[in-house]
Amino acid sequence: MGEVKERILGLRKERLERLATLNPETKLTLSLLRRSPLAVIGISMVTIFAFIALLGPYLAPYDPYQLDLSVRFSPPSAGHWFGTDGEGRDIFSRVVFGSRYSLVAGLVPVISAVILGVILGAIAGFKGGKIEDLLMRITDMFLAFPSTILAMAIAAGLGPSLENAMIAMIAVWWPSYARLVRGSVLSIKETEYVEAARATGETDINLIFRYVLPNALSPIIVMATLDIGGAILTAAGLSFIGLGAQPPTPEWGAMVNAARIYAIEYWWLPTFPGLAILAVVLGFNLFGDGLRDALDPRLRRI
Amino acid sequence: MGDEDLLRVSDLETHFFSYRGVVKAVDGVFFNMRKGESLGLVGETGSGKSVTALSIMRLIPPPGRIVGGKVIFQGENLLEKPEEEMRKIRGKRISMIFQDPMTSLNPVFRVGEQLAEVFTQHQGLDKKEAEKKSVDLLKSVGIPDPDRRAKQFPHQLSGGMRQRAMIAMALASRPDLLIADEPTTALDVTIQAQILELIKELKREVGTSMLLITHNLGVVAETCDRIAIMYAGSIVELAKSVTLFKNPLHPYTRGLLDCIPRIDAPKEKLAVIPGLVPDLIQPPLGCKFHPRCECPSDRCSAEKPQFLNVGDDHWVACDRNVGNIRNP
Amino acid sequence: MTMALMEIASLRKHFPIKTGLWGEPKLVRAVDDVDLTIEEGESFGLVGESGCGKTTLGKLILRLLEPTAGKVSFDGHSLFDLGKEEMRRIRKDLQIVFQDPYSSLNPRMTVRDVVGRPLELHGVVDESEREKRTLDLLEKVGLSREQASRYPHEFSGGQRQRIAIARAIGLNPRFITLDEPTSALDVSVQAQILNLLKQLQSDLKLTYMLVSHNLSVVRHLTDHVAVMYLGKIVELARTPELFERSAHPYTKALVSAIPIPDPETRRQRIVLKGDVASPIDVPPGCRFHTRCPYTKDDCKSEEPKLQEFTSEHLVACHFAGDFYS
């Protein structure tokens, strides 16, 4: 009996170790990712971005809000790598700080949309019948609107701010996940291991959370990763048209918007924030593509 | 013996270069086939039988590659031929049929059309003649109402009929060698019986040489003149059909025969070959079967056994049968 | 007379399917009025080709599907009348082993969880007790205790099937449906699994329903066999009797179709014409008449009943006496 107790303690430790050492399937995914140059570039870019976002305050040489009218509109120089804007603020510091807003604007809406979409999609797929029909019709309603317009409408309705822009994005994004999850749930529901679990009397809750959802994760992860780039872009876009973050917030989209009228004379004003958007979104897209290829069972041949 | 051989495979080696290592799917295979005979290639999963067939056809997809050996077909080494020439051989002089006829027939073209292609491409007939010949061919493989069937799509035919259509396509160009990879495995038992009878009948009438790949010893007993047993990438025993079943020499062959449940001879407990099929990336040293063998000697774990003729065209790769060598 | 463990009466399962936008809905008559009894401790085989309904029947009697009509009585309980909670409790006695070892185990659960979860569901809440029983079960099916922490994809097909068997016997069930348990396995592995199943049956006093298209396996493992064709049982007898002295033409054709691993066997094979019929378009009269080599007029109009032919041997054929060898 004591031997068995020891075993259990050893098991818990083993379980943690296992999570750390990863099962061979994850190893295969990682090795495939490692071998695709584009995916590697994407991951590097994303990592750098995350790094900058997290360490922002320590990397920025200046306070992004600090005005210094004596150096307004200065081109890039040794003292100001990206130059200064109309109020003399250091653009480099503002770009660095802007990454934090972009990180939040990218992650929060996507994670929230995923959670909302997964819950609704799982219920729809699992329960079927009238509940499924109702949920899917609601999903269709949301999907019927062009996403950008819908986001704009919601953001405009709630009032321009980055938070409201994020809410708008969640509202626009969740239906795709709901649909995706419902499809996965429908097919996994019919697999033999789910049937066997039912034959042993497994509870419905557990069937969803331990049997169906974990096996439906791959397409969701891929979609979410690709969507993070899209979310960052959309947030910047909403800010660009004045519906998202408002000046003087150093959000990239807002920065480009404010720089519009000066773009020809002072090229560095919109260029650096714009390049930042480009780089980050590209990084996530490459990463997402690489991940999708690595997870695609048909492409994973030895 | 040598010159009359239709096909002679010597020391064929096909490896797959995977991220985990090199999978030696075919690791030194030797066999020959004469004109008009049917040879059964029998093995379980991982034995390398399908890979051998695909190697003969030079249809190995990357990351696989034929890394050694010779495949002499009608006097020429197929492994040295340029792809251009191989394309002319495939479908004309060597034909292949597969296990799942649904995936080997193009679902968006009618059956008759696909069949006619063989005639227009390889025999230069015009469309009308080719179509007529297709219908005749469907009839010859026992498909009732061939005119109507020729105009249908593959999914409208049953599994058995699709397989017949495949056989028809394969035989349309009167190939010298027909390779059949598990042609009846996916079929119901009574349909399998129909196809086996068809194959036997065609063998009698047309006289095509056939290489039949399967894991089912009953099927080869019924249709093949000679049988080769494969294990972990090499042939372990090759003999005339009657000889193999009457006097199996290799322990694996004996194990296989003993572990099959029989309709005609029910047993209380099935004999079992202990252990599992070996890892083809790091196979056991010496004889690959020795860890599972009932009677290994010390040599078995050190040296790879030679594939030797023990008399009457009975070949075995097992050191313990060295004593059975008689003058051929 | 003691009650049989499993009594199936007039069981029917029809699946409606749509045939295009304007077509009238058709019925797949998968299981069509089947009567059957299985005694405790016996091994019952259900054979047939695709579309005969054997898999559907195997699932119906476990209530993994709801019937269109009919009754299944397990140990006196009428299964389809039980409430959710009662059914859940009875499930411990009714288990299943599936055909495909590659899809019958949850890829995200360790072996320990796969085998242990049913125990947890049915009252073994104490983790150490569960652990002990799980490891014992693994050993019983021929796996090693150390393998409990691994995931299914780290095992071969035969080993996965052993895990599935361990899961099935964990609850000490009385009845197990074996749905093509070895069809996806190599011949040498099949032998190991069949021996294991036989041994477990005698050790644990199990009752088996073996659903299979592989007649050699059925011959090896069962006491009684029923042959199904298009949703109905056409012959039912003790196993040796069915194989050696069958009375229905379909059974005879099935048995003669099997290739025997002996090149010198001389045997008359009965080759059926046509294809396996579809349970959507069931022929009138005797369902088998379209393929039967001995069809007579009566066969096309009157459906033969499954009746007692000789002791413990039922046949559904108007001319059964002519074919009894």
pLDDT digits (tens, 9 = 90+) for B32-48: 999 889 999 999 988 99
Rounded to an integer, what distance in angstroms lies between the CA atom of residue B223 and that of residue B211?
10
- Phi, psi at A147, each rounded to 5°: -60, -45
Residue C18 to chain B, least CA–CA distance (Å): 18
Mutation choice for B interface testing from C187, C227, C292 by most B CBs within 10 A: C187
| Structural tokens at position B185 | 């495995």
Q: What amino acid occupies position B90?
A: R
Q: Residue for token digits 């986001």?
A: A151
Strands of C18-97 (E only): list them.
26-38, 43-47, 69-74, 77-78, 94-97
- Taking CA–CA distances from B64, the nearest residue in chain A reads A302
Residue B28 to chain C, least CA–CA distance (Å): 23
Tell me the average pLDDT across C298-324: 87
Rounded-to-5 percentages of helix, strand, coil across chain C: 35, 20, 40
Taking only the tens place, the pLDDT of each residue in A142-151 is 888 888 888 8
- Phi, psi at B180, each rounded to 5°: -120, 115
Rg, C-alpha atoms of chain C: 21
Residue B1 is predicted with a pLDDT of: 43
Q: What is the number of CB-based contacts under 8 A between chain B and chain C?
A: 127
Mutation choice for C interface testing from B158, B270, B292 by most C CBs within 10 A: B270
The DSSP result for A242-276, as a single string, is: TSSS-TTS--HHHHHHHHGGGTTT-THHHHHHHHH
Residue A191 to chain C, least CA–CA distance (Å): 7
pLDDT at A21 over 50: no
Q: Which residues pair with B23 in a beta bridge?
A: B16
A252 burial (CB, 10 Å; 0-12 / 13-18 / 19+) is buried
Residue A8 is predicted with a pLDDT of: 62
| Structural tokens at position B207 | 């006289």
Tell me the average pLDDT across B63-87: 91
Describe the strand order of the beta sheet including C224-229 as a list of residue ranges: C94-97, C175-179, C207-212, C43-47, C224-229, C232-238, C313-315, C307-310
Q: Are B19 and A301 an interchain contact pair (Cβ–Cβ within 8 Å)?
A: no
Rounded to an integer, what distance in angstroms lies between the CA atom of residue A256 and that of residue B11?
69
Residue B88 to chain C, least CA–CA distance (Å): 35
C137 burial (CB, 10 Å; 0-12 / 13-18 / 19+) is buried
Residue A155 is predicted with a pLDDT of: 82
> Which 8-state DSSP code applies to residue A212?
I
| Structural tokens at position C33 | 């009025």
Taking only the tens place, the pLDDT of each residue in B295-319 is 777 878 888 888 888 888 899 998 7
Q: Which residues pair with B96 in a beta bridge?
A: B179
| CA angle centred on C84, ends A122 and C179, rounded to 5° | 75
| Among B188, B218, B273, beta carbon nearest to C188 | B273
Tell me the average pLDDT across C213-242: 93
- Chain A residues whose C-beta sits inside 8 Å of any chain C C-beta: 1, 4-5, 7-8, 11, 14-15, 18, 23-25, 191-203, 210-211, 214-215
| Continuous segment of H or E residues that includes residue A175 | helix A162-189
| Structural tokens at position A103 | 């990180």
| Among A28, A31, A302, beta carbon nearest to B16 | A302
Cis peptide before B266 (omega within 30 of 0): no
- Phi, psi at C308, each rounded to 5°: -70, 130
> Which residues have CB under 8 Å from B137's CB, separation 6+?
B115, B168, B171, B172
Q: Are the beta carbons of C111 and C148 closer than 8 angstroms?
A: yes
Q: What amino acid occupies position A119?
A: I
Q: Are B267 and C217 an interchain contact pair (Cβ–Cβ within 8 Å)?
A: no
Residue B190 to chain C, least CA–CA distance (Å): 6
Q: What number is the ipTM of this complex?
A: 0.84
- On chain C, the residues whose CB falls within 8 A of the CB of B216 are 259
Q: What amino acid occupies position C321?
A: G
pLDDT at B291 over 50: yes
Q: Are C187 and B193 an interchain contact pair (Cβ–Cβ within 8 Å)?
A: no
Rounded to an integer, what distance in angstroms lies between the CA atom of residue A82 and that of residue A95?
9
Q: Are the beta carbons of C104 and C155 closer than 8 angstroms?
A: no
| Among B45, B144, B261, beta carbon nearest to C219 | B261
Q: How confident is the model at residue A9 (pLDDT cuts 50, 70, 90)?
A: low
Residue B121 to chain C, least CA–CA distance (Å): 32
Q: Are B63 and A28 an interchain contact pair (Cβ–Cβ within 8 Å)?
A: no
Residue C192 is predicted with a pLDDT of: 92
CA-closest candidate to residue B188, choices C191, C306, C291: C291
Question: pTM score > 0.90 for this model?
Answer: no
| Structural tokens at position B172 | 């349309």
Residue C219 is predicted with a pLDDT of: 92
Helices and strands of chain B, counted as H and E runs: 11, 12
Q: Are A196 and C98 an interchain contact pair (Cβ–Cβ within 8 Å)?
A: yes
Rounded to an integer, what distance in angstroms lies between the CA atom of residue B26 and that of residue B13?
5
Q: Are the beta carbons of C27 and C280 closer than 8 angstroms?
A: yes
Rounded to an integer, what distance in angstroms lies between the CA atom of residue B316 and that of residue B297?
16
- On chain C, the residues whose CB falls within 8 A of the CB of A210 are 106, 108-109
| Structural tokens at position A74 | 């200065």
* Residue with more model confidence, C18 or A60: A60
Describe the strand order of the beta sheet including C26-38 as a list of residue ranges: C26-38, C6-17, C69-74, C77-78
pLDDT, mean over chain C: 89
